[in-house]
Chain A
């Protein structure tokens, strides 16, 4: 009965089909991302009241927290796609894993920068070696390592498989780093920073945060589709469907 699901997935994973499918969805995802992002920004910057402790500085939360969630979400997607790429050798999974890495690195970078811009007025320092911050920094290095390894190979598919392997090693590494830095902080009695306080956010502050989270999810989908399409074109460079697309785009 549910036979059509694997069949459909199998069809979808063929490059020309996915190229068309992604091209169809990409504008919608981008539109939704922009729309939801605009609503969230209005709600977060204008409608939401100032926090009674942090004043207006807390408004960084509306981009910082969604970016942090996205950095982890994208790493998870990359890990799953890497696993699929290594086990079943599906070209599309390799493309998804490798094109997720730059987007993930972008969100991780945003998280680190906005976090330190928020930390300066609130804790009086740009950076502290807290477990959460350190894990995020390690995450950035993992993303950069995956990108670097992928680029170091002459053969793109071989590079994708090697980098996918590194991504899977990294997934095991992140919780270990988090745990070890926590332990390290108890040893050095480092400043324990509680970023979110006792988290009972009011609805006025919560809904822009959740809307922005959705917007970043759609943004990721749109960006991934755009990157994957480009990547498929270059991977499948010599094939007929690519030739067709190249000629069609020229005619336009």
Chain B
């Protein structure tokens, strides 16, 4: 118990060391989670758009679809 306490005390510098490590982890975790959420939102939107397109027409949509038909610009 004593060892843990002295470890947490950081020789009296606990008030500086632990917040520094906390900032490090909080920022990096936020940086990990943000793109994950963005990806899920994006996939949901894409699926909704594809569903709309295939509901309107059996083949890839034209006219009112927000993106150009897939076949033209290759890749």
A and B touch in the complex (CB under 8 A): yes
Residues of A within 8 A of B (CB): 14-16, 45-46, 50, 55-57, 59-60, 63-64, 67, 102-103, 106, 109-110, 113-114, 117-118, 120-121, 219, 223, 226-227, 229-230, 233-234, 236-240, 242-243, 245-247, 249-250
Contact A103 B75 (CB under 8 A): no
Contact B10 A59 (CB under 8 A): yes
Number of interface residues of B (CB under 8 A): 37
Contact A103 B16 (CB under 8 A): no
Partner among B12, B34, B69 whose Cβ is within 8 Å of the Cβ of A238:
B69
Contact B46 A113 (CB under 8 A): no
Contact B16 A246 (CB under 8 A): no
Complex: A59 Cα to B7 Cα, angstroms: 12
**B59 CB contacts on chain A under 8 angstroms:** none
Give 13 CB contacts A-B under 8 Å. A14-B75, A57-B11, A57-B17, A60-B16, A60-B17, A103-B31, A110-B28, A117-B19, A219-B28, A223-B35, A226-B35, A230-B35, A247-B47
Residues of B within 8 A of A (CB): 7, 10-13, 16-17, 19-21, 23-24, 27-28, 30-32, 34-36, 38-39, 42-43, 46-47, 49-50, 65-71, 73, 75
Complex: A15 Cα to B73 Cα, angstroms: 13
**Which of B7, B31, B68, B70: most chain A CB closer than 10 A?**
B31
